[in-house]
Amino acid sequence: MNKIRVLIVDDSAIVRKVFSEELSKYPDIEVVGTAPDPYVARDKIVSLKPDVITLDIEMPRMDGLTFLRKLMKHYPVPTVVVSSLTTKGGKLTLEALDVGAVDVIAKPGAAYSVGDMSAQLAEKIRGAARARISKRTEDDNDTARQQPMKALAQTSNKVIAIGASTGGTEALKTLLVQMPSNSPGMVIVQHMPANFTTAFAERLNGLCQITVKEAKDNDSVSHGTALIAPGNYHMLLRRSGARYYVEVKTGPMVHHQRPAVDVLFKSTAQYAGANSIGVILTGMGADGAAGLLDMKNMGAGTIAQDEKSCVVFGMPKEAIKLGAADKVLPLEKIASEIIRMV
C-alpha cells in the first residue's frame, strides 16, 4: 500500500515537530517535509509532490489564505487547514474551506490535547488524500447557489436530521440555501472543532431563508430553523409531549468524532422514528451509517449523497452498503427530495 505523502506548512517549529512525530506513528502516512512559510512550501510542493498538505492559516510573510488561493488556482493539492481555536480563526477557516481546503483541524492547546488531535489529524489526512479537488477560479467562490424553493403550502412536524464531514461545509450550504423559510425543523452534525461551528452557523444564517444557529442544550426543534451541533459536543434529539428539542452534552468520541452523526441519528430514530428524514452527506469514514439504518428501520425516509457529487464518498458509501438509504441522489437534488418526502 502506497503511503500518503504529507507536507506540513506551519511557522511554529513546535507544531511542525509535534505533527511530524504524531503522523510518523501511522504506517500509511509519511511526512515528506515541512515548511515554515508559504514561500518555502511552494518550492517543496513542486519538488516533493505531496499528496496532502497541512496548512497553518496565520503565518508571516504570506498568510495561509492568500497562499491557498494561489495554490488552488495554479497547483491544487488536497489541503487540511490547521487553525487556532479563536473567533478569528473560525472565520478564516471558513474562508479557507470556501477557497478549496478539504478539511480543518484545531491546533493542540489547553482545550485540545495532542492525544485528541493525533487520530483526528490522521483521519483527516486520509480523507483529504481521497478527496476530489480541481483548479479553482473566482467564480467558484461565489456564494450564490440554487434559488430557494417556494414556501410549503402546509407545514409538517417532521424532523430532518443531517450528517456530514469532509466536504460537508459546502454541501450543507448548497442544500440549506434551497430550503424554504417554513421548512420542518432540522438538526445537523458537521464534523468541526469547537468555535468553528459558531462561525459556520452564522455564515449559513446570512445566506439562507431559514434560521441557522449553533445549538444550545434544550433548544426546540422548530419550523424554519436548523440547529448545528457545537464542536466538541454531541447533540441528541429528545421529545417531551409534542415538542422536539436537543440535548447537547459531552461524552466519549464516536468514530473519533465529537459531535458524531451516529449519536444524532440513533437518538432521532428513537424519539422521532417515522416522523423523521435522515440525510447523510459527503465525508470520510463510517460515522452515521449505522444510525441511518436505525432511522430507516424505524420508518424514517433516508437519503444518501451520490458518489459523483461527494468530495469524499465514505460515509454515504457505508450507509448504502448497509442498505440504510432509500434514495441515493446528487447533492443538488436532495433538498427537493426532502420537500417531496415532507
The catalytic residues are 165, 191, 287
List the one residue out of 166, 59, 50 whose CA is nearest residue 105. Answer: 166
Rounded to whole angstroms, the Cα distance separating 250 from 95 reads 28
Structure-block grid coordinates of residue 125: 489526512
CB-based contact 68:103 (threshold 8 Å): no
CB-based contact 129:108 (threshold 8 Å): no
List the one residue out of 218, 149, 163 whose CA is nearest residue 191. Answer: 163
Q: Which residues pair with 279 in a beta bridge?
A: 162, 303
Cite the DSSP H helix spans in the chain: 13-23, 38-48, 64-74, 87-99, 114-130, 168-176, 196-207, 261-271, 289-297, 315-321, 331-341
Supply the DSSP symbol for 3.
Answer: P
List the one residue out of 29, 33, 43, 31 whose CA is nearest residue 75. Answer: 43
Q: Which residues pair with 235 in a beta bridge?
A: 248
The amino acid sitting at 153 is A
List, edge to edge, every strand of the sheet that includes 52-56: 29-35, 4-9, 52-56, 79-83, 103-106
